[in-house]
Structure 1
Amino acid sequence: MKLSKLKITILLSGLLFFSAACEGFLDVNTDPTAPSEVPEDLQLSALLGVFSYQTIGNEPARTTNRWVQQLAWSGFPPSSDNYDFDESGPNNFWNSSYTVVLNNARELENLAEENGNLAYSGIAKVIQAWSFAILTDLWNEIPYTEAFDPANTTPAYDSQELVYSEVISLLEAALVDLSSESPEAPGSDDLLYGGDLVKWQKLANTLIARYQLRLTNAPGHSASEQANLALQALSNGFDSNSDDADFEYYDNAGEENPWYQFAIDGKWDTRDQLSDHYINLLKDLDDPRLPIQARPVGAVNNSGLVPGFDPDTVEYAGNVNGSEGDGAGSYSSIGAFYSDADSPLTWASYAEAKFIEAEATYIAQGAASAQDVYEEAIRASMSKLGVSQEAADSYIASLGPLAASANPLEDIIVQKYIANFLSLENYNDWRRTGYPELEPAVDPYTPSGEIPVRYPYPTSELQNNAESVSSTGIPVGYGSLDINVWWDSQN
């Protein structure tokens, strides 16, 4: 299915469900002036398109990858680059997550279960679980148990501990649905896997592993037990790069890759460029992924891609986070592999799965046991990016064995950080482990002067659900940025 057709289904779906959502927090009643029922195939295409653009490739990844210093703002401060991120910053993302993504996913789940089309309900549950995980990872306490009650416009907030248990339960329920008989099953309307339900099952298991490992330092949880739960899930997770969840985009107006729209296309804004920290990390490691993850300085300016760009000397440079920038033309921008108009957007990858396995194996069995998995994770990343086997072998040899390292966990997470370029998971791993080691941005807006460890509750909640926000005890605005989420409470 072409994205031009997808745009129609997104619009149709949005009109149906957004008007209903305005009546309640996640009201799934339909608009009486609209068709009474949108079939599963149109709902699925719309859901996947909105989730990819609004969640995976939008605000959560852009802001947090400034905070973990893969990206940097190349304009004038202040900006979210130095943590000028108050209640207005995440407002659109919170609202789109609840009133569009989750509303549509719940509607699809209900219709599919009513019709016995469990393949569709399984996919809808994966998207719900993933969305709720992202919301609670960024905010800690969020509406969950009361979120779908159309009569309740001020839903109570649930603890992150409860939400995490529900996320994993949703993924386990999705696995049951995805392996059950389904009279109607996705085909081309599945814009991620083309109806391959085995790959959806592998994705769900990989997500379970991700979220089990997230809890290694959570109160009341054992790191070794969480590691073993992650390894158990990964036994049915991604097997190779061919399983990667890569969402396709096209070089047509309004159908382009989100990073192209947000960082390359001059019609939007080209000031999200690479961080000095990240460029220097890759240079220090002599990492062959540098020219793939970064464009040379001058390839992009404030108007977008520079026609006929052909420098005499190729240079890679980033801006120092929080400092005043000289505009896009002075820094390296996001590499074409990730930011061409028709570049796919990776939701989750085999390389990430292998890094999860490497860390879990290290926790459960030690550094020597994790070595082969660690190397396979790096190779998976390099293979996906087209790095030669010879270059990958040389790079891995230069790193040395984990067993000889002063800090094997740091080695694993730093390599995962590179492989997961532009992923929200970089921020989650940094909070969970403290790696990579980072210095705060210039002139930070956080009261502590440190990198933020959570999002502030958005304006819409402060205006419409103030009592529930107040019950969390989290202050409004910048003060909230210093308060750890539950699973991060021991760091």
Structure 2
Amino acid sequence: MKFKNKLKTIVGASLILTASACESYLDVNENPNNPQDAPISGLMTNITYETSLNVYREGSAVSNYVQYLASPNPSSGSDTMEPLNFSSLWFSLYNVMTDLNEMNLKAEESGAAHYLGAGQILMALNLGMTVDFFGDVPFSESFNFTTVTPAYDNDEMLYGEVLSLLDQGIANLNLESTSSIGADDFIYGGDIDAWKKLAYSLKARYLLHTKGTSTYNASEVLTAAANGFSSNADDATVTFFEQRFNPWASVAINNANLLLGGWISEQFIEALDGTSYPTVDPRLKLMVGTTDEGEFIGTVNGAGRGDAPEQGARSTLIEGQFYTSTQAPLLIATYAELKFIEAEAAFESDKATAYEAYLEGINAHMDMLSVDQDEKAAYLADPSVSMGADALTLDDIFKEKYVALFLHPETWNDARRFDYGYKNMTTPENLNPDLGGEFIRRLAYPDSEVSRNGNNVPSVSLLDRIWWDQ
């Protein structure tokens, strides 16, 4: 049974007190010869918690790029795809990987195979998230304290490392362990079988990213998926607690207090309200709010809120829904996502399997949101949704996955693989002129890294594609 973690006050306090075992090259003022020593259990607590926040941080960074959200102000850099400074995101990713490096070393030395296996899986996830957004990044020289200006490793090579870490993690979870993971694991509470399913599900995700390359093998994706999640109960999540709200809830609360954020893009509204597609999606009212008049009205990316029908009358994230309740879970990886991965991987060779997985992905997400059963049945019965295996298209799969992965950073990977081909998705108004009318393809390297390690930072533009996006 999946562990549903309710973090208590004392656990939250211990999290605050848990310091990184040793700082990465990013923190140059730390004496590498006198590192703080954190116990393996404390590291696990901090790592699982912060990994979920890294998923949020990445999702927040790109939510305007995939037109889930839009800025209420015209020509906002997040909407218009300017080269923004993501130093904070970079630090967060590397701080978790530094703690993972330390935890994995401790686990290996002590024979704690299950900690090592889970740590390798989480290292693969955090490294994969970093590579997917930035391309070439430091890794092989990042955690040995021999240099504060580490070399950048090739992104394709690092993808091999991601997949290798997942395989190593599975192997270690199958071994006897000198110590057991328990409540210090905020994702699964020490459920080793659940960790194995997560590893296979992530393997399917990262293998699917390579679809446009010579190394892609659809059967490998399907094999991994078959060993992954089997229901929503397997989802990898971190549930929040009374002292720390889900960060998307904080966005909604802040917006209600006129600290503007969480405004919904017109693209997302029209994908679900019957404008872009023939049927109204019952999930819309469970995912975003209406105006005071009870209407769903999106904000045009790059244009701001405008003045029609009246300034500010737009849909936003509102507190208390599935994604925005104060103690709502942050979703790291889900069964719904895995079914859409399966659908895409099977599409060319087995349309019947692809269609079954596509429908199950919709069903899983609707169950996650507790959609009314009659409304779910009506939506699934609509011919535009249940078109039959022969009529199923990749567009259908990508569209439904777009809805099911609301606010998740994986959608930006999909958008680039799909060449932003979602129906009616157009470049934002007031687009960054350096993009020449094209969508953004990568994040700029952060200012902190350019100033600290500039000789090694690759020279790239926002249109340069990472290795799998060719």
- Find the counterpart in structure 2 of residue 11 from structure 1: 16
Q: Secondary structure at the match of 1:143?
A: coil
Shift of 1:394: 2.1
Shift of 1:449: 2.5
1:371-426 C-alpha deviation (Å, 9 max, x unpaired) = 11111111011111111333223212212325453x71110011001011111111
1:277-306 C-alpha deviation (Å, 9 max, x unpaired) = 1001101231010111111224xxxxxxxx
Matched, 1:346 2:331: yes
Equivalent pair of 1:83/1:446 in contact (CA under 8 Å):
no
**Partners of 1:9 and 1:145 in 2: CA distance:** 31
Paired residue type of 2:315:
S
Label 1:386 to 1:179 Cα distance change in 2 as closer, same or farther (>3 A).
Answer: same
Label 1:21 to 1:286 Cα distance change in 2 as closer, same or farther (>3 A).
Answer: same
**Partners of 2:152 and 2:101 in 1: CA distance:** 19
Label 1:429 to 1:39 Cα distance change in 2 as closer, same or farther (>3 A).
Answer: same
Shift of 1:268: 9.0
1:125-181 C-alpha deviation (Å, 9 max, x unpaired) = 111111111111111111122222211211111111101000000011011111211
Shift of 1:344: 1.1
Which residue, 340, 364, 375 being the options, matches 1:355?
340
Question: RMSD between aligned alpha carbons?
Answer: 2.3
Equivalent pair of 2:75/2:429 in contact (CA under 8 Å):
no
Shift of 1:61: 0.6
Equivalent pair of 2:254/2:261 in contact (CA under 8 Å):
no
Shift of 1:188: 1.1
Paired residue type of 2:450:
L
Equivalent pair of 2:340/2:357 in contact (CA under 8 Å):
yes
**Partners of 2:116 and 2:325 in 1: CA distance:** 33
- Find the counterpart in structure 2 of residue 233 from structure 1: 224
1:209-266 C-alpha deviation (Å, 9 max, x unpaired) = 0001110102x234xx2x11111111210000000112101243xx000112234335
Matched, 1:150 2:117: no
Label 1:127 to 1:29 Cα distance change in 2 as closer, same or farther (>3 A).
Answer: farther
Of all paired residues, the percent bearing the same amino acid is 32
- Find the counterpart in structure 1 of residue 98 from structure 2: 103
Query: TM-score w.r.t. structure 2 length?
Result: 0.90
Equivalent pair of 2:9/2:242 in contact (CA under 8 Å):
no
- Find the counterpart in structure 2 of residue 94 from structure 1: 90
Which residue, 275, 295, 300 being the options, matches 2:265?
275
- Find the counterpart in structure 1 of residue 361 from structure 2: 377
Query: TM-score w.r.t. structure 1 length?
Result: 0.86
Matched, 1:84 2:96: no
Q: Secondary structure at the match of 1:482?
A: coil
Matched, 1:247 2:238: yes
**Partners of 1:263 and 1:346 in 2: CA distance:** 17
Paired residue type of 1:49:
Y
- Number of residue pairs matched by the alignment: 450
Question: Runs of 5+ in structure 2 lacking a partner?
Answer: 1-5
Q: Secondary structure at the match of 1:347?
A: strand
Q: Secondary structure at the match of 1:467?
A: coil
Equivalent pair of 1:141/1:160 in contact (CA under 8 Å):
yes
Which residue, 456, 459, 467 being the options, matches 1:468?
456
Paired residue type of 1:331:
R
Question: Runs of 5+ in structure 1 lacking a partner?
Answer: 299-312, 475-479
- Find the counterpart in structure 1 of residue 440 from structure 2: 452
Q: How does 1:388-467 map to 2 (within 5 A)?
A: 388-398=372-382, 399-405=385-391, 408-434=393-419, 435-437=421-423, 438-447=425-434, 448-467=436-455
Equivalent pair of 2:246/2:325 in contact (CA under 8 Å):
yes
Paired residue type of 1:430:
A
**Partners of 1:28 and 1:182 in 2: CA distance:** 32
- Find the counterpart in structure 1 of residue 48 from structure 2: 48
Label 1:402 to 1:429 Cα distance change in 2 as closer, same or farther (>3 A).
Answer: farther
1:16-44 C-alpha deviation (Å, 9 max, x unpaired) = 534885248xx994745x4xx32221111
Paired residue type of 1:71:
L
Equivalent pair of 2:25/2:149 in contact (CA under 8 Å):
no
